[in-house]
Chain A
Amino acid sequence: MDLILDGVCKSYPQSRGSLAILDDINFSIHTGQFVALLGSSGSGKSTVMRLVAGLEFPSNGRITFDGLPVGGPGSDRGMVFQKYSLYPWLTAAQNVAFGMELQGLPRLEVRERTAYFLEVVGLRDAGGRLPRELSGGMQQRIAIARALAAQPKLLLLDEPFGALDLQIRESMQEFLYQLWQQTGLSVLLITHDIDEALLLAQQIHVLAPRPGRIVRSLMVDFDHGDMMALRLSTPFLERRQELANGLRQLDGTLT
C-alpha cells in the first residue's frame, strides 16, 4: 500500500459554524497504480489533492503515505497544478532543474537529468526558452517534466490538461499514458473529463459535490494499445454513456 486516505473530512470555518467541503473520503493507491478522481467543478477535487500533497490538513481522518502520516509537502509527492505554474523568469530547462537544485543534487547530475526529462516530454529543443514563449501544452509538459525530475513516488495531477484545446489534450493524454507505462509511477489524476478518466486510469472514484464525497468507485481495464481506436470503440462509449448518466443524476438530485 502506498497512499491511504482513511475517513478524511475537510471543512472551513465560517462566520457561523463551518462549511463541509469533503465528507468521509476513503481510497488508496497502490504502488504503480493509476487512479482518477472524477467530479464536477466545485466538488472538492483540488482540495483532496492539496490534502494529499500536504499543503493543507484534514479536519478529520488520516492520510498516510508509505505508512507515515502526511505532515506537510515533500518531494515524494510531486504535483502539477491546474493553472500553469512555471517560474516565468527561468527557462524551460531551468524550470525542470529547479527541484533537483532544491534537493542539492550535484551539478553534473542535474544537467544530465534535465536533458533526459526534456527529452522524455519531447521538448529537447525548447530548453532555452522562457515559459511565455511556450504554448500551453508545452508549458504543462515542462511542468510534468519538472515534477518527474524531482523523483516523486506519487505524481499528483490536478486537471493538468483542462486549459488545453481538444486536439492537444488528446495527444497529451496519450503522452501521459505512455509516460506512466514507461516509469511505473503511481499517479493520482484529477479531472472532470469522463473520457480522460476512462482512457487513462485503472480505477476511478466519482466525487459528488456539497459536501464532496465518493459515491462510486469502478475499475477500468480497456486495451490501451491503440488509444485513438479505444476512444471510438463500443465498450468504451457504453461505459462513458453510463458514467455520464450517473453524473447527470448526481447533479439532478442537487439542483
Chain B
Amino acid sequence: MTSLGTFSGRGRRHLLVHPWSLGLLGILLVFGLWATISSLGVVDQLFLPSPAAVFLAGQEQLAQGQLVADLVASIRRVFGGFALSALVAIPLGIAMGANTTLCRLLEPLLGILRYMPAPAFIPLLIIYFGVDELPKILLIFIGTLFFNTLMIMDAVKFVPSELIETALTLGGKRADLLTRVIAPYIIPQALDAFRVNMAAAWNLVIVAELVAAEDGLGKRISLAQRFLRTDQIFLGLIVIGIIGLLIDLGFRMLMRRRCSWAQ
C-alpha cells in the first residue's frame, strides 16, 4: 500500500501500479492471445479450442451437475488427505524441532522419503487398498507429510532462545513453552508451509484421479482425452487453477487476519 504513495497524484498510474490490477493484466494478456490465435483460425480447433467453446463446455457440465460433483469429489480428497497430513505433521514437526535426539533419528529418514516422488507410490497404494477413496487420500497424505513436517520442524528450531528463556525466568514450566511460546511463534510459518504444500496436494489428487477414479476433475480430464474433447481438458485445467488460486488467497487472508504481528 505504501509503495503507492509516490504515485497518488495520478489516478491512472495508481491503478496500474496496484499489485492486483497488474496481475489481472497478465492473465488478460494471455487470455487475449489465446482468443486472437483461435479466432484467426491458424490452429486446428481440435488442438486449440476457442474460449467460447471452453465456456460452453463449462455451461454444459454445470447444467448436468457434473462440474460440481467433480469439484466436490476432488476437494474432499485434497482436504481429507491434507488434514490428515497436518494432524501428524504438527505434533511430529514440533517434537523434532524441540528434541535433538528425535530430530537426529528421523531427519535423514524424512529427507530420503521426501525425495521419493509420491506418484510412484500409486501402484503400491492400489495393490494395498484398491481403487477407493482411501488410496487417494493416503497419496496426498504421503505426498505432503514430509514437507509439512520438515518445514514445521525448521520453524520450531528458529524460535529465538530469548523468548524461551524469558518464559522460564518468568516462572514458566516446560509444558508452558510449547503452548504459550513455540505454538504461537510458528503459526505464521506453519500456515505458509501449508499454503505452499497445498499446491502439491492438488497436483497429486489430479494424478491419482487420472490413474484410477470414478469421479473428480482429473477423471474428467482423462475421459475428455479419450473423446478428444480438448475444450473439456482446457475447462478442467482452468478450474483447477482457479481453485488453487482461491485456496492460496484463503491462506493469505487467514494469515493477514490472524498473524498481523508477523507481517
- Which chain A residues have a beta carbon within 8 Å of chain B's beta carbons? 53, 55, 72-75, 77-79, 81, 83, 85, 87-89, 98-99, 102-103, 130-132, 146-147, 150, 156
Q: A81-B162, A132-B261 are in contact. Are A89 and B184 (CB under 8 A)?
A: yes
Which residues, 65 to 80 on B, are CB-close (under 8 Å) to A?
Answer: none
Interface size class of chain B, counting residues whose CB lies under 8 Å from the partner chain: 20 to 34
User: In the complex, which residues 165-217 of chain B have their Cβ closer than 8 Å to any Cβ of chain A?
Assistant: 165-173, 176, 180-181, 184-185, 187
**Residues B171 and A55 in contact, CB atoms below 8 Å apart:** no
Mark B12-40 against chain A: 1 for CB-CB distance below 8 A, else 0.
00000000000000000000000000000
A99 to chain B: which residues have CB within 8 Å?
170-172
Query: Given B160, B171, B187, B262, which contacts A85 in the complex, CB threshold below 8 Å?
Result: B160
B171–A74 CB distance below 8 A: yes
CB < 8 Å neighbour of B170 from A88, A89, A102, A130:
A102
Q: Which residue of B lies closest to A103 (CB)?
A: B171
* B259 close to A (CB within 8 Å): yes
Contact (Cβ within 8 A) A77 B169: yes
In the bound complex, residues from chain A placing their C-beta under 8 Å from that of B261 are 88-89, 130-132
The binding surface of chain B is classed by DSSP as: helix
Query: Which residues of the other chain, B, contact A83 by a CB distance below 8 angstroms?
Result: 160, 162
A53's partner among B169, B173, B181 (CB-CB below 8 A) is: B169
Q: How far apart are the CA atoms of A159 and B180 in the complex, in Å?
A: 26
Closest 4 pairs (CB-CB, A-B): A75-B171, A99-B170, A85-B162, A73-B168
Bound form: Cα–Cα A146–B172 in Å: 13
Q: Are A102 and B176 in contact (CB under 8 A)?
A: yes
B262 engages A98 (CB within 8 Å):
no
- The reply to whether the CB of B109 lies closer than 8 angstroms to some CB of chain A is no
CA distance A87 to B166 in the complex (A): 9
Does chain A have a CB within 8 A of B223? no
Report whether A85 and B166 are in contact in the complex, using a CB–CB cutoff of 8 Å: yes
